[in-house]
Amino acid sequence: MKSTERNDATRAVVVTGLGATTPVGGDVATTWSALLAGTSGARALTEEWAEQLPVTFAARIAVEPLEVMPKVEARRLDRSGQFAMIAAREAWLDAGYAAKNTAPEDAPDALVVDPTRLGVAIASGIGGVTTLLDAWDTFHEKGPRRVGPLTVPMLMPNSPAANVGIELGARAGVHTPVSACASGAEAVAYGLEMIRSGRADVVVCGGTEAAIHPLPMAAFANMMAMSKRNDEPQRASRPYDKGRDGFVMGEGAGVLILESAEHAAARGARVYAEVAGAGLSSDGHHIAQPEPTGRDIARAMALALADGGLEPEEIVHVNAHGTSTPAGDVTELKAIRATLGDTAADKVTVTSTKSMTGHLLGGTGAVESVATVLALHHRLAPPTINVDDLDDEVDLDIVRGEPRTLPDGAIAALNNSFGFGGHNVVVAFRSFE
Amino acid sequence: MASQEQVLEGLADIVNEIAGVPQDEVELDKSFIDDLDVDSLSMVEVVVAAEEKFEVKIPDDDVKGLKTVRDAVDYIVKAAA
């Protein structure tokens, strides 16, 4: 099926705004230039609690929320909610809409979206875990009376989505898909469906996570999932390198404004890329181990291609899940080759931006969707850093060193995200002329 | 024992911390909900912070009666006496 047929048959969806706050930058522009420059956001944790943990480093956010958000607002939001709000505001303004979706008195013509046609899909893998654990500390130290009345509205996983929805007055539906490290991508897929099905014209999509706290750090480390390269934090996230030994915990959020192509065209919006389609599958295999053949990862990619009316040859770039774990990285690459076939696979460029940002868990699929969209928009694929000794099993073109220029003409790219529990989400983006 | 003035000052600090309202706007005749951006959840925070600051107990049933800053100041002065 040709892409034009697909677009006639459904409501085409485009990306008109981007926002991010990540370990390599406090906004999209700084994050993108840091990714192109191959900058790592990982560093040693300075908190006292880190000393007793098997992993003593992480990729903390580059710009603390209090630097860009009033204290009185920040204290009502979990850290993950702060990240989501910051990224959502950036994306919303980037799309050209009036702050808070309200035209100010001195600019009555400022652009707003009909609230009943505006939706939100912002995911989190874990929710307000630091709020929950801090409240438990308060309970023990000071008693139940001192547990804050905002604890529940801050810790619930839908809190970031709900707060963004309230800020913008969104009334078409506010949603929070939860699928561990696929959550952020699943939110984008959900937003796509909200627009295609006619429920909304504009959806604020994304994912957020803030789980750099001793308890989740200890728990992930005890799963043997994290890198223990404590003496070299910036070299620890090294997907596709022979010496990789696990992921690096990151934190942050990414947000994309999805809009029906019709709605975007009517207002003359700047379009970054088209959301061509999405593919979702599940492994049905194990709660934490990836299914070793990658059959369902491949199926999710094939479904995304079919959903977007894309031929394998159109896919020039994959922002891989590539977490820097020994088993997962190679399984994914095999699935890419199996799905695209040798002709297309020999030409595709693959990047794991987690080599720089660390793994943002529920935020990762959203931040990497932002990176994938920008790769198409600028026709430039960021590198994977720390690949000093390429794994012998890697048979795809991993971008290393300098960013890689992507071809002219109509091109497309995939963003892969997979989560504990066997959730596979692939979002396909197409360049927009 | 705290004076009305001391309690007002302390309460103004609490409302500023929780709702972001400047201290000098926290006046006796202001309503917490209508004038000071203190919603029902924040009111619980204000009460718990006041309990700690002034070493008083403000039972939940009494919180409903604290509509204005004056209500709270008078209650705390009396309870602390």
Q: According to the model, what pLDDT value does residue B80 have?
A: 87
Separation between Cα atoms, residue B51 and residue A218, nearest integer Å: 36
CB-closest option in A73, A145, A150 to B41: A150
Asked if residue A9 has pLDDT above 80, the reply is: no
Q: Which of residues 224-253 of A touch B (CB under 8 A)?
A: none
Q: What does the pLDDT look like over A223-239, one tens digit per residue?
A: 999 999 999 999 999 99
Tell me what the pLDDT averaged over chain A comes to.
96
- What is the CATH classification number for the domain harbouring B15? 1.10.1200.10
Confidence of residue A183 (pLDDT cuts 50, 70, 90): very high
Mean pLDDT for the stretch of residues A121-135: 97
Q: According to the model, what pLDDT value does residue B1 have?
A: 62
Asked if residue A180 has pLDDT above 50, the reply is: yes
Size of interface A-B (CB pairs under 8 A): 22
Alpha-carbon distances of A16 from A58, A255, A277, A336, A432, rounded to whole Å = 32, 11, 16, 28, 11
Confidence of residue A2 (pLDDT cuts 50, 70, 90): very low
Asked if residue A98 has pLDDT above 50, the reply is: yes
Separation between Cα atoms, residue A289 and residue A421, nearest integer Å: 8
Asked if residue A4 has pLDDT above 80, the reply is: no
Tokens coding A409: 């003409």
H-assigned helices in B4-64: 4-19, 32-35, 40-54, 60-63
Asked if residue B67 has pLDDT above 50, the reply is: yes
> Rounded to an integer, what is the distance from CA A395 to the centroid of its chain?
26
Q: Which of residues 11-70 of B touch A (CB under 8 A)?
A: 17-20, 41-42, 44-45, 48, 51-52
- Residue A179's nearest CA partner among A368, A425, A371 is A425
Confidence of residue A7 (pLDDT cuts 50, 70, 90): very low
Asked if residue A6 has pLDDT above 70, the reply is: no
Confidence of residue A373 (pLDDT cuts 50, 70, 90): very high
Residue with tokens 């547990």: A147
Q: According to the model, what pLDDT value does residue B81 have?
A: 80
Separation between Cα atoms, residue A426 and residue B53, nearest integer Å: 53
CB contact under 8 A, A153 and B45: no
For residue B37, the enclosing domain spans: 4-80
Asked if residue A315 has pLDDT above 50, the reply is: yes
Q: According to the model, what pLDDT value does residue B58 have?
A: 95
Separation between Cα atoms, residue B56 and residue B58, nearest integer Å: 7
Find, in chain B, the residue whose alpha carbon is nearest to that of A152.
Answer: B41
Percent of chain A with pLDDT over 70: 98
- Domains in chain B, number: 1
Domains detected in chain A: 11-432 (3.40.47.10)
Tokens coding A129: 């875990």
H-assigned helices in A60-103: 71-74, 79-94
